[in-house]
Structure formats: C-alpha cells, structure tokens
Amino acid sequence: MKVNEKQSVVSETEDMAYGQTPWACAQMRKRLDSETMMMLRASLFEPLNKADSWPSLREMLRGKGFDMTPRAGRLRLVDLQSRVEICTFGLLGHPRVELEKRFGGHPQMH
C-alpha cells in the first residue's frame, strides 16, 4: 500500500468515526449537483422500484445506508449515520403522493 492510499484509508476511517459520510455535505447545500443526483438515483433504483410496502422500502433503504422521514409535507431521504437530510423523494423521481398511492397510506416512522 502506498503512503497516499494509506493516508486516504486512515482519513476515511477517521471521518466515519466522527459521523462523517459522503452525504454529510448535503446539509450545507440547497441541492445536490446533477452528477451526485444521478449516482444517488442509480444506487436507490432497486429499493424505490422493487419495494412493495413502506416497511420493505425502509428496510431496503437502510440496507444502503439511508432512511426516510416526513417533514413539511414531503418525504425526505436521510443519511442513516449522520441523519443529514439529503433530498426529497420527489427529486429522486418518486414523490410522496406516488408512494402513498403505491403502498397505501402514510409511512409509519417507528
């Protein structure tokens, strides 16, 4: 392992120890850039399209390091570790209203 690679691994480990994740910067921006949104949509394609209920969606999201929370009438994607709100599900192409029709009712957030 080269010195730069070793420093990178140590830095990533230290960041995770302090609750930093790749999504922690989302709290400082009003909106993610288009490349980041594309990567996020691709990463969440399976959970958002294959889940058949609120509990299954939440379980699949948690498996990828995310959670969901309703706030101000919108359903928001949240980083599981830092609890940073990343974006709304509408920005991911799956507005809350669409998900409520698909799964029935509102998400249970217990």
pLDDT tens-digit readout, 21-72:
666 666 545 667 888 889 999 999 999 999 999 999 999 999 999 999 998 8
Least confident of 13-17, 42-46, 89-93: 13-17
Of the candidates 19, 105, 23, the one whose C-alpha atom is nearest the C-alpha of residue 57 is 105
pLDDT at 82: 87
Of the candidates 82, 80, 87, 98, the one whose C-alpha atom is nearest the C-alpha of residue 37 is 87
